[in-house]
Copies of this chain bind each other. A is one copy, B any other.
Amino acid sequence: MGKAYTPATAAADVETVFKRLGGRWKLLILFHLFGGQVQRYSDLERLMPGISPKMLAQQLRQLEHDGIVARQVYPEVPPKVEYRLTDWGQALCPALDALLRWDAARDVDAAVAD
């Protein structure tokens, strides 16, 4: 059976999710990793024009801390670090899809309301 929610606990849990994904660049990072993609730090820097090294590192650290992104360091010279989604992180995809479908339904609903 499912978990029991009150309005307060449901709202708090969704807010927790929002905080985990809510950084300025986190969603963009996620969408560059969905589908099993693996990216190096410099790949992400190139894929996200305008991001500063501080922000990229910070957002990646938080995603890693939250168990969404996995970080793998290769002890080489020069350094090489790869980022990919954890299984749980990959499981976000259908949930974000549901939000995108809701967003896309805005116009549909408005048309029906006419």
Contact = CB atoms under 8 A, between A and B. Distances in A.
Interface of A: 3, 5, 7-8, 10-11, 13-18, 21-22, 27-28, 30-32, 34, 47, 67, 86-88, 91-92, 94-96, 98-106, 109-110, 112-113
B11 A28 contact: yes
Q: Chain A interface secondary structure, helix, strand, loop or mixed?
A: helix
Contact of A94 (B15, B47, B98, B103): B98
A7 B32 CA distance: 6
Copies in the complex: 2
Nearest to A96: B14
Contact of A102 (B30, B95, B101): B95
A21 B21 CA distance: 13
